[in-house]
Amino acid sequence: MTPTGNPQGLPKYGILADNQRVMNAANATVNYTGLGFRPRACIIISSQSTGVGRVSIGFFGGVAGNQRSMNQTGSTTWRDNVAWPYALLVDSGGTNSAVGVVAMIADGVSITWTKNLTPPANTLIFQILCFE
């Protein structure tokens, strides 16, 4: 969709909203579609459903290796995951986490989910803001 009143010709944007993923689900690649265009970049914001205060903000620039995330590892601690190639990393304490590597597809975003060690059965709730 194109923003209303867009005389400057700004990029199209779309939101893939209210997505969910259980952190301890089997490793898999999942497509999130419905944008109507192939995105060039996206921002992903997620949190865990249990209210434990774990948040992740991830970015993907459309080029392999150009994805980074920041995640909350405790009540006040944030970690910049520069060395880790994940657009999404949600920590449940220590290294028990669910991570996502993003790829752009024709009508949305594909996320390859991998769990590290034994994350809990918490549900991730996440939004994906995409730009053409």
Kindly indicate the confidence band of residue 3, based on its pLDDT and cuts at 50, 70 and 90.
Answer: very low
pLDDT for residue 2:
44
Strand partners, 22: 123
pLDDT for residue 105:
92
pLDDT tops 80 at residue 15: yes
pLDDT tops 70 at residue 48: yes
List phi, psi (to 5°) of 21. Answer: -155, 130
pLDDT for residue 29:
92
Mean pLDDT of 87-111: 74
List phi, psi (to 5°) of 90. Answer: -115, 120
CATH 3.40.190 fits domain 14-131: no
Residue pair 43/113 in contact (Cβ under 8 Å)? The answer is no
pLDDT tops 90 at residue 33: yes
State how far the Cα of 56 lies from the Cα of 82, in Å rounded to an integer: 13
Cα torsion through 21, 126, 115, 31, rounded to 10: 70
pLDDT for residue 74:
60
pLDDT for residue 73:
60
Mean pLDDT of 7-32: 85
pLDDT for residue 34:
93
Residue pair 16/30 in contact (Cβ under 8 Å)? The answer is no
Domain ranges for the chain, please list them.
Answer: 14-131
Indicate the DSSP class of residue 8: T
Sheet holding 28-33, edge to edge: 28-33, 108-116, 97-105, 88-91
pLDDT for residue 112:
84
State how far the Cα of 37 lies from the Cα of 77, in Å rounded to an integer: 36
Of these ranges, 58-62, 64-68, 73-77, 84-88, the one predicted with the greatest mean pLDDT is: 58-62
